[in-house]
Structures are given as structure tokens and as C-alpha cells.
Amino acid sequence: MAAVALSLGCGNGGGDATVTGTITYNGAAPASGVIGFVQSGAPPKIATIQPGGAYQAKLPPGQYQVRIDAPPPLPEGWQEGQPIPQSGPRVVPEKYANFTTSGLTATISAEPQQQVDFKLP
């Protein structure tokens, strides 16, 4: 599945673009998780998924492979350092959590503000 970048505004002279968007799976938005963008030969850029499936990332122009990791929410009372329990089904299937299996891509242009939404089937 490929994502299409919608560009807004004027060029920014080659700097990073602010990319915003929403993520949904079967019409439902994850409340948390991470979205990652990677270009060949570069380290991945990671952004946090906010409630409602929203994210924001600063990315240089180019072609990206994308991964979305939205595991089940942690149980109430869980604290950092404790083992992560299996607490139900994943919000977004695990295949989307890996750059090589997700099938997701994004093209980021030189425009300073862009919206890229991911509507997963």
C-alpha cells in the first residue's frame, strides 16, 4: 500500500518538511505507538502516535519506507522497567511494524508543510 504526500505552501529551500497525518486501521485510530520513516542508507526517523492516530515528523525530502507499530495499550498501573505483558490483540497488525513487511511508503517533497495519512485495510 503506498501513501500519497499532499503538499501545501511554498518551497522551503531544501530543509526538512513538517509532515503530519493520521493513521487508521479498519477505520479505527490507534491511541498510541510509533511511526517510522527510513531512507536507504540512513537511520530511521521515528515519531510518536498521539490519541486519535495523529503524528508529526520532521523529514528531509525523499522516498521512504514506513512502519507503524501500535501494540495493545499497557495495563493500568504498569510502570517503566516492568515486563511488558501480553494484554490483548495488537491495534495495528504486526506486519505493519516492520519496514520490510509493511508495504508502506511515503514520498516527501520539498514543501515545508505536508499531510500524509495512512488508511490501513
- Structure confidence at residue 14 (pLDDT): 59
Domain-located, residue 67 = yes
**Domain encompassing residue 51:** 6-72+89-120
DSSP letters spanning 24-35: EETTB--SS-EE
91 contacts 51 by C-beta, under 8 angstroms: no
pLDDT tens sequence across 30-82? 999 999 999 999 999 999 999 999 999 999 999 999 999 998 877 788 888 88
Domain-located, residue 78 = no
CATH number at residue 52: 2.60.40.10
Determine the average pLDDT of the residues in 19-38: 96
pTM tops 0.85: no
